[in-house]
C-alpha cells in the first residue's frame, strides 16, 4: 500500500511501525479493503455489495414505515438472499415521495457505533429543497472540493475543523490510491460553505491545468 512510509505514529516514543490515531486507522482499514477489492471479479464484488444491502434493507424494514410498506407491496423479504434481479425489482424512490413522506421515510434510530446524525439539505437548484440526515463517523467533513492546480499539485478544500497530520496522511494515501498517481496534496480549511461556479452549480473536482 503506497504512502504508508510517511505515516506518523500517534503514540510518542513509537516511530515504526507507526500506530495511527483512531480516525487515521479507520481510513487506512478502508483503504486496505478497497485496494484488495479492486481486483475482485464483478460477481464477487456484487455479492459483497448485496450482502451489505441486506443489512441496510433489514434496518430500513425495521425503522422506516415507508420502506416496510414498499418492500411488502413488492413482495420482497429484506431477510432474503438478495440477487441483482431482486435488487432491481425495488421501486425507485422519487423526489416527490421523499418530500411528501419524509417523516415516514427517515429512520430515527441507527445501529450502535454509527455516531450522531445531523440534518442536511440539497441546494435547491431545481426549485425544490430536499432534506435528509447523515451520520458522522470518520470526520465531520461537511463539504470537500479538489482543485488540480498543476500537473503535480492538487489542493484539497475541506469545510471542517483542521485535521491532524495523521488524518491528512491517511486521506492523502486514499486520494493518491484512488487517482493512481502520487500527486502533491495541500489541504485548505474553510468554515463556510464553498461557493459554486458562475452557473451556481457546485463541482467537487476542478482542473486549472490547460
Q: Which of 50-59, 64-73, 148-157, 178-187 has the lowest mean pLDDT?
A: 178-187
Closest CA to 31 of 180, 124, 170: 170
Q: What percent of the chain is predicted at pLDDT more than 70? A: 78
For the chain, give the mean pLDDT: 81
Q: Which residue has the higher pLDDT, 78 or 200?
A: 78
Determine the Cα–Cα distance for residues 78 and 108; give it in Å rounded to an integer: 19
pLDDT score of 159? 85
Is pLDDT of 174 > 60? yes
Average pLDDT value for residue range 61-89: 94
The confidence band for 119, taking pLDDT boundaries of 50, 70 and 90, is: low
Rounded CA-CA distance 113/119 in Å is 18
Strand ranges inside 115-210, DSSP E: 117-121, 131-135, 143-148, 153-159, 184-190, 205-207
How buried is residue 3: exposed, middle or buried, by Cβ count under 10 Å (0-12/13-18/19+)? Answer: middle
Q: Between these two residues, 130 and 67, which has the higher pLDDT value?
A: 67
Evaluate if residue 138 carries a pLDDT over 50.
Answer: no
Tell me the three cell numbers of residue 41: 471479479
Candidates 180, 182, 173; CA nearest to 31 is 173
Amino acid at each position: 500500500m503506497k504512502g504508508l512510509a510517511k505515516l506518523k505514529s500517534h503514540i510518542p516514543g513509537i516511530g515504526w511501525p507507526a500506530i495511527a490515531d483512531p480516525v487515521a486507522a479507520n481510513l487506512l482499514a478502508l483503504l486496505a479493503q478497497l485496494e484488495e477489492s479492486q481486483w475482485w471479479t464483478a460477481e464477487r464484488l456484487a455479492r459483497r455489495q448485496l450482502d451489505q444491502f441486506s443489512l441496510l434493507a433489514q434496518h430500513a424494514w425495521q425503522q422506516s414505515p415507508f420502506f416496510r410498506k414498499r418492500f411488502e407491496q413488492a413482495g420482497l423479504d429484506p431477510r432474503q438472499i438478495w440477487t441483482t434481479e431482486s435488487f432491481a425489482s425495488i421501486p425507485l424512490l422519487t423526489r416527490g415521495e421523499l418530500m411528501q413522506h419524509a417523516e415516514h421515510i427517515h429512520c430515527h434510530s441507527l445501529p450502535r457505533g454509527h455516531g450522531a446524525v445531523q440534518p442536511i439539505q440539497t441546494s435547491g437548484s431545481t426549485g425544490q429543497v430536499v432534506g435528509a440526515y447523515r451520520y458522522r463517523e470518520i470526520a465531520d467533513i461537511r463539504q470537500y472540493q479538489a482543485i488540480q492546480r498543476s500537473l503535480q499539485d492538487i489542493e484539497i478544500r475541506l469545510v471542517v475543523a483542521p485535521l491532524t497530520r495523521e488524518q491528512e496522511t491517511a486521506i492523502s494515501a486514499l486520494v493518491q490510491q484512488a487517482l493512481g498517481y502520487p500527486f502533491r496534496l495541500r489541504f485548505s480549511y474553510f468554515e463556510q460553505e464553498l461557493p459554486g461556479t458562475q452557473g451556481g452549480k457546485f463541482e467537487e473536482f476542478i482542473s486549472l491545468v490547460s
